[in-house]
Structure 1
Amino acid sequence: MKTQLIRIAAAFISGSLIMILHEFPKAILFYIINPAKDKKDKNIIFKLHHYIDPIGMIFCITSMAGFSKPYMYRIKDKKTNFILGIAGFISLALTFIGSFLILRFGIGMNPDFTYVENIKTADLIFQCIMLYMALLSLSMLLVNLFPVSTFDMGLCIAGKSPNKFFSIIRNDYVIKMILFFAVILNIIAEISATILSMLLR
């Protein structure tokens, strides 16, 4: 029971951190590119809890694959769309690389994440958080490959081809349903776990 509670807490903490690390840099970059924005709007980007999506968090805890709540960009030029989409992928990739390196080479870490007798609670919590940071950041990167209009791939498509972007908006419901089933059937989580397991060997 104790281990299960630690895992749930670790998934919640990791999911929250990844959502913030994914969306906050994009919001900052958006206002660097668009410096003439209203000061009141700029203050919103520093309210970090806004990036945590409740439904995405439930998926993070139950299915090891969630999504964040994006700042609702009002972008008029294609270049900014593409830059923000790429920035989102980079932030998730860097989060995965950082957590993977800690898992693989961190002092006192158990890279196989097998049960260790008499392990300290603090060490168990830390290992759980790092494991979930790696799994969830990789899963969220895979989720953002789906061409949903508000996801990173959607931003990239909007930046390259507005006509294709309008097409994915028309098919948004179908794309989201495919993503939904991929998440609840643990397809994305299995792919992420397999990749991480192979890298940790």
Structure 2
Amino acid sequence: MKTQLIRIAAAFISGSLIMILHEFPKAILFYIINPSKDKKDKNIIFKLHHYIDPIGIIFCITSMAGFSKPYMYRIKDKKTNFILGIAGFASLALTFIISVLILRFGIGMNSDFTYDANIGTTDLILQYIMVYMALLSISMFIVNLFPVSTFDMGLCIAGKSPNKFFSIIRNDYLIKMILFFAMILQIIANISTTILRMLLWRGNI
């Protein structure tokens, strides 16, 4: 029971942090590119809880894959769309890389995700959080590869081909249904776990 509660708490904390780390840099970048925007709107981007998607958090806890709530940009130029899309992917990739480095060289986590039962509860929670930070960041990276209009791939498509962007908007419902099934069936979680296990594998060491 204790372990299960720790898992849920770790997934919630990690999922929330990743959502903020994913969306907040994009919002900052948007206002750097568009400095003339209303100051009232600028203040909204610092309300970090707005980036936490409740449904996305539920998926993080139950399916080890989720999605964040993007700041609703009003973007007219293609270049900004593309830059924000790439920035979103970059932030998730960077979070994943840092998490893996901490797990491998800081905590010494192995590919079987063997947790040290002899450490204190706080340290155990931190271990779980770092594992979930790695798993959820790569999962969200994969999720954002789906061409949903508000996801990073959608922004990249909008930046490169507005006609294709309107096409994915027309198929938005179908794409989301495929994505939800991929998450519910643990397909994305399994891919993420496999990637992380490969990076933590130590061979005969």
Q: Give the alignment's TM-score, normalised by structure 2.
A: 0.96
How far off is 1:110 after superposition? 3.2
Alignment match, 2:62: 62
> Does 1:36 pair with 2:36?
yes
Give RMSD over aligned pairs.
0.8
Kindly provide the amino acid, as one letter, of the partner of residue 89 in structure 2.
F
Q: Which residue of 2 aligns with 1:195?
A: 195
* 1:1-201 matched pairs, under 5 angstroms: 1-106=1-106, 108-111=107-110, 112-201=112-201
2-side partners of 1:76 and 1:24: how far apart?
A: 20
Worse-matched range after superposition: 119-128 or 141-150 = 119-128
CA shift for structure 1 position 115: 4.0
CA–CA separation in structure 1 for the residues paired with 2:151 and 2:5: 31
> Is 18-27 or 120-129 further displaced after alignment?
120-129
CA deviation profile, 1:81-126 (whole Å, cap 9, x unmatched): 00000000000000000000000000x4433421433221111111
Aligned counterparts of 2:199 and 2:40: Cα–Cα separation in 1: 44
Task: Specify every segment of 5 or more residues in structure 1 that has no aligned partner in the other structure, as ranges.
Answer: none
- Whether the aligned pair in 2 keeps the contact of 1:109 and 1:127 (CA below 8 Å) is no
2-structure distance, mates of 1:110, 1:171? 41
Amino acid aligned to 2:169: I
Distance 1:118 1:168 in 2: 51
> Quick one: distance in 1 between partners of 2:117 and 2:175?
45
Amino acid at match of 2:189: A
Distance 2:59 2:12 in 1: 10
- Whole-Å separation in 2 of the counterparts to 1:139 and 1:42: 29
Q: Distance in 2 between matches of 1:116 and 1:87?
A: 36
TM-score (norm 1): 0.98
Give the secondary-structure state (helix, strand or coil) at the position aligned to 1:110.
coil
| C-alpha separation in 1, matches of 2:89 and 2:132 | 18
Aligned partners of 2:109 and 2:200 also within 8 Å: no
Q: Give aligned-pair identity as a percent.
A: 87
Per the alignment, in what secondary structure is the counterpart of residue 147 of structure 1? coil
For residues 128 and 66 of structure 1, the distance between their equivalents in structure 2, rounded to whole angstroms, comes to: 17
Query: Which AA in structure 1 matches 2:161?
Result: S
SS for the counterpart of 1:70 is coil
CA distance in structure 1 between the aligned counterparts of 2:137 and 2:164, rounded to whole angstroms: 27
Q: Deviations over 1:159-198 (max 9, x none)?
A: 0000000000000000000001000000000000001001
Structure 1 residues 101 and 36 mapped into 2: Cα distance closer, same or farther (>3 Å)? same
In 2, Cα distance between equivalents of 1:101 and 1:142: 20
**Unaligned runs of at least 5 residues, structure 2:** none
